[in-house]
Amino acid sequence: MAWDSKLNQPRLAKSEAPRIPAARGTPAAVSEASVWRRRAVGLAERLMRTDADFSVVSPVLTSGRSRGDAVGLVNRLLDLEDRLFRRVDRIASAYPAPSAAGFDVPRDRHPWKARDQPEAVITDPYDRRVDDCVLAEAARGARFLARHGLLGDAPDHAAARNFLLAHKAVMSDVPEVSIVIPVHGQLGHTLNCLDSLLSHASRHSREVIVVDDASPDDTASVLRRLPGVRLLRQTRNQGFIASCNAGAAAARGRFVVLLNNDTRVVSGWLDGLIDSFATFPQAGLVGSKLFHPDGSLQEAGGILWRDGSAWNYGRGDDPNRPQYSHARKVDFISGAAIALPRDLWLALGGLDMHYAPAYAEDADLAMRVRAAGREVWLQPQSRAIHYEGATGGTDVSSGVKRFQTVNAGKLYLRWHEALSAHRANGVSAYFERERAVRKRALVIDATTPTPGQDAGSVTTVAHLRMLQDLGYKVSFLPQDNGLFQPGATTDLQAMGVECFYAPYDIGVDAILARYGRLLDVVLVFRPTVLEQVIGSVRAHAPQAVLLFNNMDLHFLRMRREAELAGDAALWRASEAMERRETALMRRVDCAMTPSSHELPEILARAVGVPALVMPFIAKFHGTAVTFADRRDICFLGGFRHSPNVDAARWFAREIMPLLRRAEPGIRFIVAGSHPSPEVLALACDDVVVTGMVADLRDVFDAVRVFACCVRAGAGVKGKLADAMSYGVPAVSTTIGAEGMGLVDGTDLLIADSAENFAAACLRLYRDPQLWARFSAAGQERVRSLYSLEHGAAVLRQGIEAGMARHRGLASA
């Protein structure tokens, strides 16, 4: 494969060129095809030149296989991408992007396989939806209700109770959460609610308090002495509000959760509610996303209009749309499923009897929470199915439902001054749903971050958090495939990041064409990503400040790998990458790098562009495990990154034999995601390859020394910051420690030859005083220099410097 120096691209002979999808389909799809074509060329380049993040590359290029094998691998991967492209093409053709004015037009015509084909097994990742779990829970509820005839003329309450006994639920004597369920009749729905609740898995201990408001049916006798349930009885019917207050008065938990009896909770419901109070420290009230039993959206937070009327935002729409699926501050949450800290509940006096017997008390509570200086949050990762109208009916002219209209007037009279800042009824609901948003930021990376698997993802998530701390409404766009990923995507949504994904928002250009005019800041990671999106950003968001974080200088990483391997072709490829990176940095408003070593390189190449060192952000963990209670040496890395593969191999093959002779029984622990065949082959009696570790404390609290044994790469090494955070002292190569301001002999030990590295490991392994000094120094560095607060301050400087350049005021 030759190199075209004019195009800065590989030039393959016709016989070895990979097959690239042809442009076809809608304009958006044709645009995607050009992206695919560039990506294919880049893939060929990486595979043939070793500049790759794929664990398959090093074996192909170092085991003597032929050029044809490498090209064959390129073609197989391109076949996968071609199939993916066709999938995106079909979606884009069937569902063209709406106009910019159509933010709030319901678009429920998208297929939802879990709903449309409930018996089908979902294998295509593009068929997954955010709320698939709701349909599964609704089906379980339907089976439970039908099995016992609970909604028919002859319900078998005794059989349903016996079924609940099988859950073997145990109520905590010291609960963290008290779940209060007010009931008046409707025993069938109460049993359905308890069926989901008593089997509900959660990290939080809980008690369930059912308040029987003088029910006219068999509620009291059926629920009496039901394990896992505390039953409180009202001697006379006092209404919904009084029952909620009575149940909360008996609560023993730190949090009070109000749950309607005509609900069924979905997996993750309680964790989503309670965890939000840690995620959003100012939260005073958190509520669930509510669904109709058919899976359609009932409410993703409530909107209060200027006249005091209320909307259930998104009602009847497809609940999986991105705008309904991320946590955000809202006006109120319908009281069917809400949580408050118990001390705040007591301070507010609970629900206000001014609205007795029911209706508008939830909106009033939310207003009082805000008046007390706290926030009201929707958490869509907490889901509940609400069989609306089962207890109160739907006719607003009769029964208890008539108070809905009466109490709306009471709400307006009490809060009309605060409501005067709201929009008129029905105006711009898309923006009114998050009225407090004043500035918006978009973050673009190659794929959705997986912080448990690689340091780059840790950096991306940290920047999302920092932008939030600076007051931005933050959205995330994966440049590569637009795939919704359970876990990775939902973790971002739970922290309040709006994520774009198929089939609702497809293609970088189409997404920016629709939302670009709303943005104040666009932050892009990695030069390979910036190359693909910079044109669209500048075209559709010309007002936005464009920030660029390179993660590392790619050309420097490639150059070091070329030197290590003695690969002249890779060296030439690094020169081409240097030209590409330089050209890109000159087009942004501010360039950021995590490495102080790389800052001068950037300043020399992008003259006039503001550039700064963005510190690596690491959460402080600390440790209580002493030197004497530890053993072994560890390395941590994601093994799709070839420098990590080289590091593990170097230590196991050249350093470990020296340690075996000097310290018999010592082990080398190799931890991290996606271990390649090369890494797995290192395993033996004293080399342990763990794969990805769910909780790093399991590794770091057990080992005595961390080996940052990388011999190539660039940027800073997040693994070293992680080790310091957990109080594990380190031995590092010069490359491993560069750019972090670490001093040999003060913060860690530095060695570059196998003999010196082994000697340094033994010195630290055997000296408890030196170990304790390095452990304390590393922990303090993480607390002071790698914190979110410090990072946010630096990021603010970058935004301000970028804004000055963007406005032509850089020299002012």
Quick one: pLDDT at residue 17? 40
pLDDT band at 77 (very low <50, low <70, confident <90, very high): low
374-419 pLDDT, tens per residue? 999 999 999 999 998 655 555 555 455 666 788 888 999 999 999 9
618-638 burial by CB neighbour count: b if 16+ within 10 A, else e? bebbeeebebeebebbbbbbb
Has residue 265 got a pLDDT over 90?
yes
Q: 528 vs 23, which has greater pLDDT?
A: 528
Mean residue pLDDT of the chain comes to 86
Assigned token pair, 410: 């009471």
Has residue 67 got a pLDDT over 60?
no
Has residue 492 got a pLDDT over 50?
yes
pLDDT band at 82 (very low <50, low <70, confident <90, very high): low
Q: 602 vs 70, which has greater pLDDT?
A: 602
**Of the ranges 135-139, 658-662, 715-719, 804-808, which one carries the lowest mean pLDDT score?**
715-719
Has residue 213 got a pLDDT over 90?
yes
604-651 pLDDT, tens per residue? 998 889 999 888 888 889 999 999 999 999 999 888 888 899 999 999
What proportion of the chain, given as a percentage, has pLDDT over 70?
Answer: 84
Spatial contact of 288 and 272, defined as CB atoms under 8 Å apart = yes
Radius of gyration of the chain measured on its C-alpha atoms? 29
DSSP conformation class of 19: P
Has residue 19 got a pLDDT over 50?
no
Has residue 154 got a pLDDT over 50?
yes
Q: 42 vs 780, which has greater pLDDT?
A: 780
Has residue 360 got a pLDDT over 80?
yes
- What are residue 177's DSSP bridge partners? 206, 255
Quick one: pLDDT at residue 7? 34
Quick one: pLDDT at residue 401? 63
Which domains are seen in the chain, by residue range? 2-94 (no CATH), 132-427 (3.90.550.10), 440-613 (3.40.50.2000), 627-786 (3.40.50.2000)
Quick one: pLDDT at residue 30? 41
Quick one: pLDDT at residue 532? 92
Spatial contact of 27 and 611, defined as CB atoms under 8 Å apart = no
Has residue 13 got a pLDDT over 50?
no
Quick one: pLDDT at residue 457? 87
Quick one: pLDDT at residue 762? 96
What proportion of the chain, given as a percentage, has pLDDT over 90?
Answer: 64
Question: Quick one: CA dihedral 342, 344, 345, 346, positive or negative?
Answer: positive
Among the listed residues 406, 218, 430, the one whose alpha carbon sits nearest the alpha carbon of residue 322: 430
pLDDT band at 15 (very low <50, low <70, confident <90, very high): very low
Quick one: pLDDT at residue 562? 82
Among the listed residues 598, 592, 596, the one whose alpha carbon sits nearest the alpha carbon of residue 612: 592
Quick one: pLDDT at residue 79? 61
C-beta neighbour count of 19 within 10 angstroms = 11
Has residue 263 got a pLDDT over 90?
yes
Q: 3-class SS at 255?
A: strand
CA 206 – CA 222 distance, rounded (Å):
21
Has residue 88 got a pLDDT over 70?
no
Has residue 658 got a pLDDT over 90?
yes
Quick one: pLDDT at residue 260? 97
282-296 pLDDT, tens per residue? 999 999 999 999 999
CA 336 – CA 351 distance, rounded (Å):
13
Quick one: pLDDT at residue 464? 97
Q: 430 vs 94, which has greater pLDDT?
A: 430
- Apex CA 555: angle with CA 551 and CA 558, to 5°? 100
Has residue 711 got a pLDDT over 80?
yes
C-beta neighbour count of 254 within 10 angstroms = 15
Quick one: pLDDT at residue 93? 52
Quick one: pLDDT at residue 798? 95
Has residue 540 got a pLDDT over 70?
yes
- What are residue 543's DSSP bridge partners? none
Has residue 495 got a pLDDT over 90?
yes
Question: Quick one: CA dihedral 390, 394, 400, 405, positive or negative?
Answer: positive
**DSSP string covering 713-740:** --S--HHHHHHHHTT--EEE-HHHHTTT
Assigned token pair, 326: 């991320």
**Of the ranges 169-183, 259-273, 370-384, which one carries the lowest mean pLDDT score?**
169-183
pLDDT band at 81 (very low <50, low <70, confident <90, very high): low
687-704 pLDDT, tens per residue? 999 988 888 899 999 999
Has residue 48 got a pLDDT over 90?
no
Hey, what amino acid is at 711? R
**Of the ranges 164-173, 432-441, 460-469, 627-636, which one carries the lowest mean pLDDT score?**
164-173
pTM to 2 decimals?
0.80
Question: Quick one: CA dihedral 333, 338, 341, 347, positive or negative?
Answer: positive
Has residue 426 got a pLDDT over 50?
yes
